Chain A
Amino acid sequence: MKNAKALTITYLTPVSFASLNGSDKEAENISSIKKLSRGTEQFPYGSSQWVRRALRDQLKNLGWTLSEGEAAKIAKGAATTEQKPDKYIDDDLFGFMGTVKGQAATTRTSPVRVSPLVSLNKYEGDLDFGTNYMGVKAGGNPNIFETEIHSGIYRGTVLIELDRVGCGDGFKDKKEELNSRERSKRVNSLLDAMKNLWSSGRQTRFLADISPKFVAAAILTTKNPIFLESVIPENGGVNAVILEEVLKDFKDEIKAVVFGARKDMFSALPESTITIGEAFNTMKKWVNEHYKS
C-alpha cells in the first residue's frame, strides 16, 4: 500500500420510505425534497453538504469532539470552525476557510470529497398527508400539510485523499502534523461513520436507514473516483460486467479492491463480494498498512 494516494468508495443504499433532504419551499404547506432534473424526469437527492453533516454527526456519535460554531473574527461573513486540524478530526477531514480582517485567510481544502447521494429512481410525485392538531386546544383549526416522500435506490461516492490527511494546509508547521497512527485512526473512524451513515433530518416521522448496502471500494495510486457512475443496480442485483470493466481499465492504478454487500438484498452480485462488515474491515486493513509503510 506504499504508493497509495486515495481510497474511493461508491455505495448503494435502498431507501423504502423517506423524505431525506428538505428543499426550498415550492408550495404552501408542502415540504419539498431536493430533486434534480434529467430530461423530463426528476430524481431526489441528498446534497453533498447533507452527507457531510451526516458524517460529522456520526463522528460525534463515535466519541470524537468536533470543532464547530466558532464565530469568525470579523464582524461580517460566514461563521467558521476552530480551524485546528491537529486537534479536531472534522477540521482535518472536512477542511475550513477562516478569515480575519487584515490577515491572510486560513484555508484547508477537504481531503475527503463527498458526492451527493442521488436516487437512481425517479420521483413519482408521492406525498404523505398529515394534519397538525397542535393549535386546536388553543382554539385554532387543525392544519393540514403534505410532505414529499420517495422510495428508491440511492448512489453516492466518497474519495479520501490519504496523503493529505493529518498534514498540509491548515497545519501551522511540520511539528503539528499527525503521526501515521493518528492518521490511520481518523480515516478508520471516517470509515466507521460511513458504515453507520445516518442523517438526522426528517427522521422523526420518516426513519430511514441510509447506511451502505453495497460498496465498491478501491485503494489507488491516483486520485480518481473510479466507480463514480459505474455501480449500477440491475434486475434486483448489481451489474458486475461494468464493474469488471472498471477494474480492467484502471488495473494499473488499483492497489486493492473490495466489493461488499448485504447479500440477501441483491439478486446478483460480483463473484468476489463479501459482507458489508468484512468489506469495511478490509478497507481499514488497507488504511493501517498504508500509513505503516
Chain B
Amino acid sequence: MYLFKLKAFAVTASFRIPESHTFQQTLPLPPITTLIGLVGAAVGLRFEDAMKFREDNELLLGIIGTNQGEFKDLWKYHKIKASEVISDVLVREYLTNFEMSLYVGSQRDDVVRHVRESFLSPCYALSAGNSDDLLKIQQVGEVKNTDEVPLLEFKNTVLAGDYSANFDSAIDLEKVPITETIRAPQVYLLPTAFNFNGSERRVSERKSFTFVGSPIRLRDPIPGFQIEEEAIVLI
C-alpha cells in the first residue's frame, strides 16, 4: 500500500452528526465522508465527484486526532415559517485546538502522489468541518510503500465496524492525570454512500464506525499500519 501522512491543526472543529438540527452535536473525529470532502477540497472536486474519485481509485483514508476541549456555540439565524421571516437559534458543538494526522493510501502510487501534491497546494481552503474552521496544514509527509500488520492497540482514531464487544481498556490509570477525561469507544451508524440528483443527495448506505478515544486493546487483531508511534487502520 502506498500512503502518506498529513499533519494539520484547527483552532475550532465540528463534525456534525447527520440528522441533528437545533442541537448539532459533534463527532470526536471527522467521519469518512468529511475526510473524502477534505480530499475533494484539496484536489478541487465537488463532493459527488470526490466520492467517485475515491471509489474509482480505491482511495483509503485513516484519521488520528486529539483536541484540548469542547464548547457549544450559539447560532442565531433567520428562518421562514408560514411565509414569515423569524429569528431563531441553534446550538452547535465544537472541538477546540484540534490536531490531526490524516493518512491517505491506495494501491496506486500515482493516485497517492496526485493527492499529496494537491494537499501541498489545495484548490479550496481546507476546513475542519464548517467552512470557517480553518485548517492549517503543518506537514505533508513523503509517500511510503508499507505493508499491513496485525494491530491490537488503538487510541484517538476511527475503525470501520462495531468493536464494542471486542475490546478491553488499555488505559494505565496510574499515569492518567486526574483532570484528563477518559473516553470509552463510541459506535455510530454513519452514511457512507449517497444517491445524487443534481444538488440533492440521499443516503444510500450506512455503516457502523467505532470512534476510539482513550487507549483500547482489541481481543482479536485487525490489519492496519504502524507508522512510528501511530497505529492506523485505513477505511
Contact = CB atoms under 8 A, between A and B. Distances in A.
A137 interface: no
A228 B85 contact: no
Contacts of A77: 79-80
Interface string B123-146: 011110011111111000000000
A115 B11 contact: yes
Given A24-B91, A161-B125, A225-B136, A118 B11 contact: yes
Contacts, number: 124
Contacts of B179: 39-40
Interface stretch (B49-57, B64-72, B155-163, B164-172): B64-72
A71 to B, nearest CB: 5
Contacts of B222: none
A84 interface: no
Contacts of B125: 6, 113, 159, 161, 223, 225
A76 B179 CA distance: 45
Contact of A161 (B73, B75, B124): B124
Contact of A224 (B70, B78, B136): B136
A116 interface: yes
Given A71-B80, A223-B124, A228 B96 contact: no
Main SS at interface, chain B = strand
B120 interface: yes
User: A-side binding surface: helix, strand, loop or mixed?
Assistant: loop
A37 B11 contact: no
A118 B96 CA distance: 10
A75 B120 contact: no
Contacts of A40: 179
Contacts of A49: 75, 132
A115 B134 contact: yes
Contacts of B72: 24
Q: Which of B120, B125, B179 has the most CB of A within 10 A?
A: B125
A34 B81 contact: no
